[in-house]
């Protein structure tokens, strides 16, 4: 029978449940187990696709086009598990499904209630991941214990061990042990209260993972174990990691969390093979180079809005034995102060995706600066569209070129709404989403980086390169380096005379891992190293 691990969080939000869940999954995979992962989010939005990056961070897109929580990015970066739309459910999706069933008459006239109908639906989406090829399913419950929104999810996972057997289920609770400077000591009371709330619901945690700034001494661990009713060796310290999030799995392993899980769930497993992970940290700690990369975006001050971008740049650094320092710059600052002032001294530029007109001209100006000064550049989604606008205006002499997203009546709509998007009015889940194939142009920088002529990458956009301008821009020197298989859509553009000027319509950051950097991010960092060393000499 497939085993289930449920990960909950208490005291405060943003403790790192996703990172902890991913680290546990990585350790179990290293022991030879087959793992699936899932997150249940308590918000009522159907998915995060329509939510503000300021509130929710980036929207992480899966191969099947699902717009999901950014924690699923941790799952994919840390593990080999294949994620689908079954890997992320929200309160909105759960209630929508139950209401649709009620409208179809499936409840045979019964009064539809939170218990049992909503909780049964939640149990169904968890247990549907069970199969003969899966040893363990890890389900992360979003939010914080004590939130009203989380109660149906907690009630549902309380019931699952009653149906599947307690020996087949495990509860891991992530909590905070704060350090009070005035008292000069760690305080365990918030953890006691958090576990107390869980126990009132009927859930007894098997393992407590304690986030803390300072090390827990034996008296702290003994107090937590006693008052939270867990064995002493099940109180796991997870200190803040100042160096890298990739230290977390090794820290948890040092505390033998994988051994505890295997013993309680009675799972046979091999010894952990973590040489690759140790090599990652060795490269991070012992870089041969250091480069600085400017990230020019609309949400530059909000790191989670570009979470996967930052991680992919780190992966590019790992591949090149390079420390990558990323400086976020608001595109509106470039509109105000000019690109020269903002970008002088950097070794590369990246312009990520985004929506809305605010800051677009700053992105275009930043890209022009990189193109004219041979500064390595990678444009993603809107970053590619802005690169096309810059090239059309300043090289092809189409001075009023623009995107119809921002200027409907532009005389030169080099970026326009996709034909399939005409007439679409609903916002949620209606963009061009998910994995799409592309063919690369032989000899292009992209083809050389990928080492293949055919790729598949994840998309999330409504607007595209206007193919009516393809010939004119190519004649001016723009390289069409990648297209859809039928050549109807432009996926990659480059500038041949530039050392590294690559812009893509898709989101390569979603397929990058610390163990396998995405080719375009590895290429950007390599170009940044060459620029840095060339500038020094």
DSSP string, 76-122: HHH--PPP-GGGEEEHHHHHHHHHHHHHTTTTTTPPP-IIIIIHHHH
pLDDT digits (tens, 9 = 90+) for 451-461: 999 999 999 99
Phi, psi of 230, deg, nearest 5? -130, 155
pLDDT more than 70, % of the chain: 99
Q: What is the mean pLDDT of residues 222-247?
A: 93
**What's CA 3's distance to the chain center, in Å?**
26
What is the SS3 string spanning 166-202?
A: HHHEEEEEEEECCEECCCCEECCHHHHHHHHHHHHHC
Other residues' Cβ atoms within 10 Å of the Cβ of residue 532? 19
pLDDT score for 14: 83
Q: What is the pLDDT of residue 536?
A: 61
CA distances from 265 to 160, 258, 273, 344 (A): 15, 11, 20, 56
Q: What is the mean pLDDT of residues 405-429?
A: 88
Q: Is the pTM of this model over 0.85?
A: yes
Catalytic residue among 381, 405, 412, 518, which?
381
Q: Which of residues 423 and 41 earns the better pLDDT score?
A: 41
CA 464/CA 154 separation, integer angstroms? 43
Structure tokens at 16: 């790192």
Selecting among 507, 518, 531, 532, the annotated active-site residue is: 507
Strand, coil or helix: what is 73? helix
pLDDT digits (tens, 9 = 90+) for 138-172: 999 999 999 999 999 999 999 999 999 999 999 99
- The span from the CA of 397 to the CA of 287, in Å, is 43
How far is CA 179 from its chain centroid?
30
Determine which of 58-67, 246-255, 294-303, 514-523 has the lowest per-residue pLDDT on average.
Answer: 294-303
Mean pLDDT across 385-409: 95
Token pair of 345 as six digits: 């001294």
CA 221 from centre of chain: 33
For residue 49, the Cα-to-chain-centroid distance in whole angstroms is 13
pLDDT band at 184 (very low <50, low <70, confident <90, very high): confident
Q: Find the mean pLDDT for residues 345-372.
A: 94
**Residue 537: exposure state from Cβ atoms within 10 A (0-12, 13-18, ≥19):** exposed
Helix (H, G, I), strand (E, B) or coil at 451: coil
Q: What pLDDT, on a 0 to 100 scale, did the predictor assign at position 537?
A: 45
Residues 6+ apart with CB under 8 A from 490: 464, 465, 467, 470, 480, 482, 483, 505
DSSP lists the bridge partners of residue 464 as: 416
User: How many helices (H) does the chain have, and how many strands (E)?
Assistant: 19, 23
Can the peptide bond before residue 116 be classed as cis, meaning omega within 30 degrees of 0?
A: yes
Q: At what angle do helices 71-78 and 17-30 cross, to 10 degrees?
A: 20
What is the pLDDT at residue 49? 87
Q: What is the pLDDT of residue 526?
A: 97
Nearest by Cα to 388 from 358, 413, 405: 413
**Mean pLDDT for the chain overall:** 94
pLDDT tens digits for 365-379? Answer: 999 999 999 999 999
CA 510, 512, 518, 520 dihedral sign is positive
| 509 part of the active site | yes
Q: Which of 412, 509, 518, 531 is catalytic?
A: 509
- At how many degrees (to 10) do helices 119-127 and 91-103 cross? 110
* Token code pair at residue 3: 């085993």
Please report where in the chains the tokens 């859509």 appear, as a residue. Answer: 489
**Looking at the predicted structure, is the pLDDT value of residue 94 above 50?**
yes
Residue 535, pLDDT score: 67
Annotation says 169 is catalytic: no
Q: Which of 472, 481, 474 is nearest to 500 (CA)?
A: 481
- The most confident of the ranges 181-195, 273-287, 344-358, 505-519 is 505-519
Work out the average pLDDT over 91-111.
95
Kindly indicate the confidence band of residue 333, based on its pLDDT and cuts at 50, 70 and 90. very high
Q: What percentage of the chain has pLDDT greater than the value 90?
A: 86
- Which of the two residues, 465 and 53, has the higher pLDDT score? 465
Residue, of 52 and 517, whose pLDDT is higher: 517
Q: Tell me how far apart the terminal alpha carbons of the chain are, to the nearest angstrom.
A: 63
Count Cα atoms within 13 angstroms, Cβ side, for 18: 20
Give the Cα separation of 6 and 8 in Å (integer). 7
Q: Which residue has the tokens 């009516």?
A: 468
Active site residue 381: yes
Sign of CA dihedral 31, 37, 42, 45: positive
Q: What is the pLDDT of residue 50?
A: 87
| Residue of higher predicted confidence among 56 and 2 | 2
Q: Is the pLDDT of residue 493 over 50?
A: yes
- Are 527 and 502 in contact by the 8 Å Cβ rule? The answer is no
The model's pLDDT over 194-231, given as tens digits with 9 standing for 90+, comes to 999 999 999 999 999 999 999 999 999 999 999 999 99
């Amino acid at each position: 029978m497939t085993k289930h691990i449920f990960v909950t969080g208490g005291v405060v939000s943003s403790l790192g449940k996703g990172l902890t869940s991913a680290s546990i999954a990585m350790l179990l995979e290293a022991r030879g187990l087959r793992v699936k992962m899932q997150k249940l989010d308590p918000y009522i939005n159907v998915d995060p696709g329509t939510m503000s990056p300021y509130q929710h961070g980036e929207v992480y897109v899966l191969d099947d086009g699902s717009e999901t929580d950014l924690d699923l990015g941790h799952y994919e970066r840390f593990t080999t598990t294949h994620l689908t739309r079954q890997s992320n459910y929200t309160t909105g999706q759960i209630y929508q499904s139950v209401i649709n069933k009620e409208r179809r008459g499936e409840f045979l006239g019964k009064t539809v209630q939170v218990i049992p109908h909503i909780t049964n639906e939640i149990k169904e989406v968890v247990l549907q991941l069970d199969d003969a090829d899966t040893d363990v399913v890890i389900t992360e419950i979003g939010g914080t214990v004590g939130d009203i929104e989380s109660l149906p999810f907690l009630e549902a996972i309380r019931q699952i061990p009653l149906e599947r057997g307690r020996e087949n289920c495990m509860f891991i609770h992530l909590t905070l042990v704060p350090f009070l400077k005035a008292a000069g000591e760690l305080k365990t009371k918030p953890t006691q209260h958090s576990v107390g709330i869980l126990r009132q619901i009927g859930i007894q945690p098997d393992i407590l993972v304690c986030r803390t700034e300072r090390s827990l001494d034996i008296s702290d661990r003994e107090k937590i174990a006693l008052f939270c009713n867990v064995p002493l060796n099940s109180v796991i310290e997870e200190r803040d990691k100042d160096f890298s999030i990739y230290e977390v799995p090794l820290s948890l392993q040092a505390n033998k969390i994988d051994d505890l899980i295997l013993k309680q769930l009675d799972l046979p497993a091999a010894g952990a093979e973590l040489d690759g992970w140790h090599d990652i940290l060795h490269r991070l700690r012992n870089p041969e180079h250091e480069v600085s990369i400017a990230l020019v975006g609309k949400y530059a001050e909000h790191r989670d809005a570009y979470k996967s971008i930052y991680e992919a740049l780190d992966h590019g650094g790992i591949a090149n034995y390079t420390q990558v320092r990323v400086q976020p710059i608001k595109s509106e600052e470039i509109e105000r102060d000019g690109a020269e002032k903002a970008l002088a001294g950097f070794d590369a530029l990246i312009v990520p995706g985004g929506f809305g007109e605010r800051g677009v001209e700053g992105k275009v100006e930043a890209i022009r600066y990189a193109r004219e000064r041979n500064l390595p550049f990678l444009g993603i989604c809107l970053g590619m569209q802005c690169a096309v606008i810059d090239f059309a205006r300043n090289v092809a002499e189409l001075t009023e070129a623009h995107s119809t997203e921002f200027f409907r009546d532009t005389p030169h709509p080099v970026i326009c709404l996709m034909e399939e998007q005409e007439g679409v009015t609903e916002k949620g889940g209606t963009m061009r989403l998910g994995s799409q194939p592309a063919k690369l142009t032989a000899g292009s920088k992209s083809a050389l980086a990928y080492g293949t002529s055919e790729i598949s990458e994840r998309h999330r956009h409504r607007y595209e390169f206007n193919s009516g301008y393809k010939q004119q821009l190519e004649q001016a020197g723009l390289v069409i380096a990648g297209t859809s298989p039928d050549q109807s859509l432009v996926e990659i553009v480059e500038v041949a005379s530039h050392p590294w000027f690559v812009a893509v319509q898709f989101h390569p950051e979603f397929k990058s891992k610390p163990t396998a950097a995405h080719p375009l991010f590895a290429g950007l960092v390599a170009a940044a190293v060459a620029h840095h060393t060339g500038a020094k000499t």
